[in-house]
Amino acid sequence: MTRSLLHQLAAALGDGAVLTEPDDLASYVTDWTGAISGTTMAVVRPADTAGVAAAVRLCAESGVAVVPQGGNTGLAGGATPDAAYENVVLSLSRMRRVRDVDAVADTITVDAGVVLADLQDAAHAANRLFPLSLGSEGSCTVGGIVSTNAGGTSVLRYGMMRDLVLGLEVVLPDGRVWDGLRPLRKDNTGYDLKQLFIGAEGTLGVVTAAVLRLLPDVPRRATALLALPDVGCAVAMLPLLRTHTGGLLTAWELINREALGLVLTHLPGARDPFGTPHAWYGLVELAGGSEDVEGLLESALEAAVERELVVDAVVAGSRTQRAALWALREGISEAQRIGGASIKHDVTLPIAELAEFVAEIGDLLDEVLPGVRRVTYGHVGDGNLHYNLSAPPSGDAALRASAPDLTRRVYDAVAGRGGSISAEHGLGSLKREAAASYKSDVEIDLMRSVKQALDPRGLMNPGKVVP
């Protein structure tokens, strides 16, 4: 049966579009962190939507699961095949066409395999902005960022991916194509079906193309790294920055010393811009068209220093300096990966709860694993912390052994304060079971009903998302 499916896939898509050699499969069956791994019978790489539809239909006829995959940069195992299910990985990586840029409607229509950085470039080439920005933008793809409802560092101003999607084209679990590729800003004709597929992590269908919003370009940027006494000051900075910057605040990111220390230790060329270490740092960026972003940032910083929210500041004086500051922030994931075993907690809390959460949770974790290193950073403007942990001097094995207990304490504290166990990375396979403990019975029931309605045979990315 396997052999006949592989023959049919090769006949439909072309021999070169079906990979089965173990060496060819390796990079598709392990996630970016290297911690989540599975197996698959084949990777198929269709060139267009018709090819995706054919592949999905053939798999459905054979009762074989489909695992959609984009740039494979996800952090919750959502695109990694689960060894428990006979499956085919469906890579969208060959579908890289920018189908249309519409200057009047202010939209761009792209294939699912278009890399985010290429999408940003295509927008710039039309003097427009596609604002979503994140560390993996050089490899993550449109299908992936739609399917995970990706966030990143400019959500504060522009929202999550969901806020930027106008229409989708989706291959359904039975191989039919839903053409919802409409650029309409207004369309009140019943259920907004595209919302089901955004953030569904490929469990309801395969996103093959999207119509996305474009925005006015904001070429002027003012960026600074601030030294902060504590998380409370970072939170108090938010209204101050908003008040002083007239809607131009694009990023307000938090970094603790442990996180910066990892970057300084592991990433070549990284340099501490301050003379002495500080407990916390904030990376602020304003972006504008013709506005005096530098002047606005300066006045905000003066007010912040006066209120003793900021103890020191380094303002980027050039593009290179700006890039160097952002590299310190965006290099944290990579530095933590190089630095040994770690546990990710991509949590979100009501912003007013952030400081107390951080103050409380440290001691609770020390009870489980004394000295566990708290690599705390994230999108403080969105209430989203990457409350990650790295091994204490006792080593990686101790961290791994304590991981379930540590994670439970983090999630319990987050839930107790009205937060969520996944802010932007999704549930994937990593947090699917945990979600069952933190979602209400009604929510779980609704999720299962939606899954059952769209994918009654459970062949679309099984073992992911739905508790």
Q: Footprint of ligand 2HG on this chain (CB under 6 A)?
A: 75, 135, 332-333, 344, 346, 378, 386, 388
CA separation for the pair 66, 89 (Å, rounded)? 6
d(CA 297, CA 300): 5
Q: How far is the CB of 250 from ligand 2HG (least distance, A)?
A: 15
Whichever of 257 and 451 has its CB closer to ligand 2HG, that residue is 257
Supply 414's token pair.
Answer: 């987050």
Q: Closer to ligand 2HG by CB, 128 or 329: give it.
A: 329
Smallest gap, in angstroms, from Cβ of residue 156 to ligand 2HG?
Answer: 13
Q: For residue 353, count other CB atoms closer than 10 A to its CB.
A: 18
Q: How far is the CB of 59 from ligand 2HG (least distance, A)?
A: 31
Give whichever of 40 and 384 is closer to ligand 2HG, judged by the CB atom. 384
Residue 66 vs 254, nearer CB to ligand 2HG: 254
| In the complex, least distance from residue 149 CB atom to ligand 2HG, rounded to whole angstroms | 13
Least distance (Å) from ligand 2HG to the CB of residue 389? 10
Bridge partners, residue 389, by sequence: 343, 374
Distance CA 211, CA 99 (A): 9
Shortest spacing between CB 203 and ligand 2HG, in angstroms:
21
- In whole angstroms, how far apart are CA 434 and each of 6, 401, 442, 456? 35, 17, 16, 23
When the beta carbons of 135 and 383 are compared against ligand 2HG, the nearer one is 135
65-69 and 87-91 as β-strands: parallel, antiparallel, unpaired?
parallel
Residue nearest to ligand 2HG (CB): 333
Q: Which two tokens stand for residue 204?
A: 């309801």
User: Closest by alpha carbon to 68, among 180, 167, 171?
Assistant: 171
The Cα 380–Cα 425 span in angstroms is 16
Instruction: Find how far residue 374's CA is from the centre of its chain.
Output: 20
Residue with tokens 């800003």: 185
User: Closest CB to ligand 2HG among 137 and 346?
Assistant: 346
